Structure 1
Amino acid sequence: MAVAFSGGVDSVAAAWLLLQAGYQVFALTMLVTGEEEKAVEVAQRLGIAHWTVDLREPFRQEVILPFVRAYLSGLTPNPCVWCNHKLKFGLLLERARALGADFFATGHYARAFFDPARNRYLLARGRDRRKDQSYFLYLLTQSQLAYTLFPLGDRSKAENLELIRRLGLPTRPESQDVCFLRGRDYREMIRELAGDGLKPGPIVDVEGKVVGTHRGLAYYTVGQRRGLGRAWGRPYYILALDPRRNALVVGPEEFLYRSHCWVDELNFILCDRLALPVRAEVQVRYTAPAVPAVIRPEGERVRVDFAFPQKAVAPGQAAVFYQEDLVLGGGTITPYETYG
């Protein structure tokens, strides 16, 4: 049994629980940011073998650079989704299999299991809904799920913190931000890597009138209110980013609400593909509640019609579809027609 092992509370708790369940466990740590030393120490304390897998270049190519390109294109990306799909459950899982692991476990708060009635592996929310991370895992395929275990799926974060406290194990401090930013504002990284990609441009209102100048599209995201550099007598928000014109579209809050959105780059878990419209709950960002919607297939994408308008639906973010606790599937919110 291989465990994706960062040395943080969740991966350490996952490894300990598997050891207690009688598995032969070894740890695999992705080297991506150069701050993985703590994992070696904790693995030694647990008495398990440890390998570090150098994924710095794949991480740069598959996560960091697409993150920068997305922002320069007026999108709001979700790098954790890419990292899980391409690296953790891609390259790291492949390494685990090459080292002889029958299964691959992570410290995600989610559940995975085989459903004989559907003859499919399914993905479900973690029992601790406050920490549920199934949103970041919707791209998992049947072949990936077949080897995956989530030991923390039925546990709460509080239980795992208490477990680590009782064991007296050292753990790596947990980051609440995108790991490769290391506490920096994402705009700093974009400034470093974008070169000439950051260009000022017009700020326009919903009628197309130029009302100001922005510093570069990558500095902004849909729903943002601060940082526009001027006041209009009432609160104005960023409604859309238009890379074709290098324009930032702003307007009153009521224009932020969307009755529908389009989603592409799809992956389905409950089925191979969607043939007919279905009712589901849709989560348009990790911190947003799932809301009722109808999902209608349209070629290689789907149209999501919300039961009631949703605020600040940001192109580039993941839209994940749920039926009760099961992940139906998900995809990427596409850019929509701008104003003016």
Structure 2
Amino acid sequence: MSVSNSSSTLSSTFYLTGIPGYEKYHHWISIPFCLLYLVGITGNCTILHIVRTDRRLHEPMYYFLAMLSLTDMGMSLPTIITLFRVLWSISREIQFNVCVIQMFFIHTFSFTESSVLLAMALDRYVAICHPLRYATILTPRLISKIGIASLLRSAFAMIPLLARLAFFSFCHSHVLSHSYCLHQDMIRLACADIKFNVIYGLVLITVLWGMDSLGIFVSYVFILHSVLKISSREGRLKALNTCASHICAVLILYVPMIGLSIVHRFAKHSSPLIHIFMAHIYLLVPPVLNPIIYSVKTKQIRQGMLHLFLPKNTGSTVE
């Protein structure tokens, strides 16, 4: 089907494939996906509730953790309806404008999460290197500005990339190779000059992720320099332990992100299952694992969960 102008493109219908070759197992495959979504949503909502209701957690570290939970849900929730519509054989159709909105939320919140992880690294830097000035530097006002700036930076960066899709013609195929919409997947179908999208997308990833990852790396260089000055071994381990959860969160986001980008750009002829597998890891692993890691590694969050889900007399005795 050929689409010759932007108005017809906006009204186009695309088709999601789910997991090709395994259509008869889609209902069974939906079970682990359903469990992953439930774990991710429950875990992140629990952290948000604990941070909001426990006044002892009204500190910069936990405000940033709440931002991380919000971005995790912002990445995964936009896909939940389309994914289960495909896996439950309700419908594989998705309108172009809905697809673009879904892409906007997925990519915007993934870039925002990278910025939040940078902010959390700076939080650990201030806490360890300038502990006496921690509360005066990271004020609630500054934290709010960081959160808003992170979201706006990511959203405005995505607008040129996605707006250009409205002017593309999709004459080869309207079949997308996933259960939800990704920019890399859609531009493969265009029969127009996609050079701008390819180059801009690569620059966007390099600049935004590059700046954030460089900032995180530099923060930890200063953190390690300060930690090595601590005389006692116990003090050094205690300081490093406050960073363990954050380091895990960084790896959980960046490894799937980089893996998905490499697969789409340099492994185009590999098995479709590899593309689908990487896309779902990128989408679901951070929202599922981040709450688990922070509940295990952070005493205050762990105690908050125990008080929430266990009787008070039991929760107060469990460390």
Q: Normalising to structure 2: TM-score of the pair?
A: 0.26
Q: Normalising to structure 1: TM-score of the pair?
A: 0.24
The structure, 1 or 2, with the larger RCO (C-alpha pairs under 8 Å, 6+ apart) is: 2
Indicate the structure with greater helix content: 2
